[in-house]
Amino acid sequence: MDGVITVRPAVREKRYSLFSIRRQWLLYVLLAPAILWIVVFNFIPTLITIPMVFKDYNIMKGIWGSPWNGMENMRAAWESPDFLRVLRNTLEISLLRLSAGFFPPIILAVLTHELRSARIRNVAQSVTYLPHFLSWPIVWGIVLALLNPADGVLVTALRQLGIKPVDVFLEQVWFRPLLIVSGIWKEIGWGTIIYLAALSGIEPELYEAATVDGAEWYQRLWHITLPGIKPVMVLLLTLSVSGLLNAGFEQVYLFYSPLNYQVSDIIDTWVFRKGLLGANYALGTAVGFWKSVVGLILILTANKAAKQFAGQGIW
């Protein structure tokens, strides 16, 4: 029609974006330091070190002066007699973490949410959330104080009861249960807080209507509570799947020893010994790079599967 100006969708979207930036400029200013930190300490170092993946790195020649060697660094990792064992340990420990640690925060959040006393609920949240702020060296010290075979608190109590305790630090069979239980104890409060935030967004009228209709607690749980926290469950599960090759370096490094390498050595600890302590920086960079590639593939796959089976994903 004459006299009518048609604005293309791309132009309209661009104008809306500029208007949104101008209207919320203060939020972007507050976000700028975090973005700058990520760019300077994450993106730039990653981009600079990518050539090391395909080079025979010499510390005296630098990254750009070292000769190219193609895929030799990854081939050296694959041909290492320990690599398959390390890869298997990493996947097994990560899957154990995921399967054993996914549901406890949900259960604890639901139980805490059902508490009628606000004071008891706040105390329960504080007690379970406190270990999240402890560093892994402190957690390792607590575990050692409890289970030290010489004078640990629990070990001493078992001896007084006439029970012969086992040395959980020497026997390989106890390493992974110790790792998983201590990890759950440390992080269950953090997960509980996330799910409690999701539970607070559920309309109380839904529970009231279900109660009036005669729904039991398990029916309210199945039809109201779990669907209400489903988006958070999908989000956390997808993010957990993307980190299957990250089995928790700091915790494993503190808990493991040469006596249990067969079940405790993971990719990160192996790279630490070979790459940093062994000064084979190119090998460590190559393994880290391909871990990131696999992680990207995993999170894309997990997000697609979440959309297909759960009806929603991260994006």
Q: Where in the chain is the domain with CATH 1.10.3720.10?
A: 72-310
Asked if the model's pLDDT at residue 283 lies above 90, the reply is no
SS (H, E, C) 249-265: HHHHHHHCCHHHHHHHC
| pLDDT beyond 80 at 271 | yes
At 285 the pLDDT is 85
- Asked if the model's pLDDT at residue 28 lies above 60, the reply is yes
Over 90: is that where the pLDDT of 247 sits? no
CATH topology of domain 72-310: MetI-like fold (1.10.3720)
Q: Hey, what amino acid is at 196?
A: L
Tell the burial category of 179 from Cβ atoms under 10 Å away from its Cβ (0-12, 13-18, 19+). Answer: buried
Residues 123-147: b if buried by 16+ CB within 10 A, e if exposed: ebbeebbebeeeebeebbebbeeeb
**What is the tens place of the pLDDT at every residue in 82-137?**
888 999 999 999 999 999 999 999 999 999 988 888 888 888 888 898 999 999 99
